[in-house]
Structure 1
Amino acid sequence: MNLKSRIQEIGSKKLIGKKVVMSFADNKTQQLWQGFMPYKGNIKFRLNNDLICLQVYNALPQLENFDPTATFQKWALAEVYEISEVPDGMEIFELPGGLYAVFDYKGRAIDFGPTFRYILGEWLPQSDYEIDDRPHFEVLGTKYKNNDPESEEEIWIPVKPKQ
């Protein structure tokens, strides 16, 4: 698989948005974004027009013993430079800074499974890094086109140097 990647250190980020608790078996991603998109314009002090899709897992994602019914939080967010005003029905999420492996993904989100398996099953074991227990996220920028095969997004996987 030809997947462009880089390692990047980021500072903490202030985010505002909505969340759902879901599993891969009970995927509520569409419901989350349908509840967020009509109200994203109410978020003041945005840093840019990018949207962030973020996952907080209860256990580190792994290929072996993968449980599609394990629940996690999924967020639809926008980054802000100030959190003094939070629109009704939305919450603040403060993303801690840290080291990330960033992958440029092109394709439909629904087709991401093989890429995720490649990252966890091949790229990560062959790298100098291991997965870290922090949120995972995707940056949906100007080239993101929802369910279009030409859609582009950045996949951010939290990592730390192998011990």
Structure 2
Amino acid sequence: MAPRIIELKSRKVIGISQEMSLVDNQTFELWKSFRVRSSEIKNRISENFISLQLFTNGYFDVFNPANRFVKWACVEVGSIENLPHEMSSLTIPGGSYAVFEHKGSVSPQDIFQYIYGEWIPKSKYQLDDRPHFEVLGAKYKFNNPTSEEEIWIPIKTK
């Protein structure tokens, strides 16, 4: 599974976020609360949803599923004006990303284990300290074998 290497321009998103770990995974609850309110967001520039992770520097040095990170349920916007109550904005800085096309309902742990455990170490890239995210477009169907999504991993040359 070879990714596309994309040079991303900065993007603005609006959504809600929550600190969690893989052990204390609150992703379902986060998305449930965001989906019912996502129509409140003005200035959307696509119908896609974005699942975004902010990892602390060194998060991947020694993997521990109890390590905390911030997860966002969000959408891309043209501007951050008219921010809905109890929602926040974030700018995703531009830079290089490895974009993996993920199809099917294969366990997310399997695809991420491949990316972080095999592809990155064997590639000419290393992780960069920017947001990691998944683009959930029209073909995304939660836990469905026909689902499709894009996994965006921030990279820089070793």
Q: TM-score range by the shorter chain?
A: over 0.9
User: Structure 2 regions of 5+ residues with no counterpart?
Assistant: none
Q: Which residue of 1 aligns with 2:99?
A: 102
Q: Partners in 2 of 1:121 and 1:36 — Cα distance?
A: 31
Q: Which residue of 1 aligns with 2:76?
A: 79
What do residues 56-112 of structure 1 show as CA deviations (whole Å, max 9, x unaligned)? 0113453x7311111000000110101111011211111111100000011237x11
User: Does structure 1 conserve the Cα–Cα contact (< 8 Å) formed by 2:136 and 2:149?
Assistant: yes
Q: Are 2:146 and 1:137 equivalent residues in the alignment?
A: no
TM-aligned CA distance change 1:148 to 1:61, over 3 Å: farther
**Alignment: residue pair count:** 158
User: Does structure 1 conserve the Cα–Cα contact (< 8 Å) formed by 2:59 and 2:67?
Assistant: no
Secondary structure at the residue paired with 1:67? coil
Single out whichever of 133-142 and 100-109 deviates more from structure 2.
100-109
Q: Are 2:46 and 1:48 equivalent residues in the alignment?
A: yes
Task: Give the alignment's Cα RMSD to 1 decimal.
Answer: 1.3
Instruction: Trace 1:51-66 onto structure 2 (pairs within 5 A).
Output: 51-62=49-60, 65-66=62-63
- TM-score, reference length from structure 2: 0.95
Q: Which residue of 2 aligns with 1:25?
A: 23
Q: Which residue of 1 aligns with 2:86?
A: 89
Look up the equivalent residue of 1:77 and give its one-letter code: C
Q: Partners in 2 of 1:128 and 1:81 — Cα distance?
A: 33
Displacement of 1:146 after TM fit? Answer: 1.1
User: Does structure 2 conserve the Cα–Cα contact (< 8 Å) formed by 1:60 and 1:131?
Assistant: no
Look up the equivalent residue of 1:90 and give its one-letter code: M
Q: Partners in 2 of 1:13 and 1:157 — Cα distance?
A: 15
- TM-score, reference length from structure 1: 0.92
Secondary structure at the residue paired with 1:130? strand
